[in-house]
Amino acid sequence: MIVRIMTEGQLEISEDKLDHLNELDADLETAVATGDEAGFRRAMSALLDAVRAAGTPLADDVLVDSDFIMPPPDATLAEVRELLSDDGLIPG
């Protein structure tokens, strides 16, 4: 699975990491839904850190479609709210 973090690049993540990422994604969704800015910052940071830790960066000259796209680390709660789907940021 290929993930892009906007402003950072792409990472390859094995599917066995998705359950943990989806748990963190659910925390982010809750913070966004309740408008909890501090909770949003914590959840966003935790999710991006987990994606980075789980993934292997792709070389800059490798061009492949991303399976999903994560917002940049400095995204606002309102910006992330716009990006959320029924599955959150991470499908599954």
Per the structure, the complete domain to which residue 37 belongs is given by 2-83
Tokens representing 76 are 């606002």
Domain membership flag for residue 90: no
Whole-angstrom Cα distance, residue 14 to residue 17?
6
Domain membership flag for residue 41: yes
Residue found by looking up tokens 């792409």 in the block:
10
Domain membership flag for residue 92: no
Q: What is the pLDDT of residues 78-91, one digit of tens each?
A: 999 988 876 678 77
Whole-angstrom Cα distance, residue 65 to residue 58?
12
Rounded mean pLDDT, 66-79: 94
Q: What is the pLDDT of residue 89?
A: 82
Whole-angstrom Cα distance, residue 13 to residue 58?
10
Domain membership flag for residue 42: yes
Under 8 Å CB-to-CB from 73, ≥6 apart: which residues? 5, 7, 8, 44, 45, 48
Nearest to 84 by CA among 38, 39, 44: 44
Q: What is the pTM of this model?
A: 0.90
Domain membership flag for residue 33: yes
Domain membership flag for residue 35: yes
Q: What is the pLDDT of residue 92?
A: 66
Q: What is the pLDDT of residue 85?
A: 73
Domain membership flag for residue 69: yes
Domain count, the chain: 1
Domain membership flag for residue 91: no
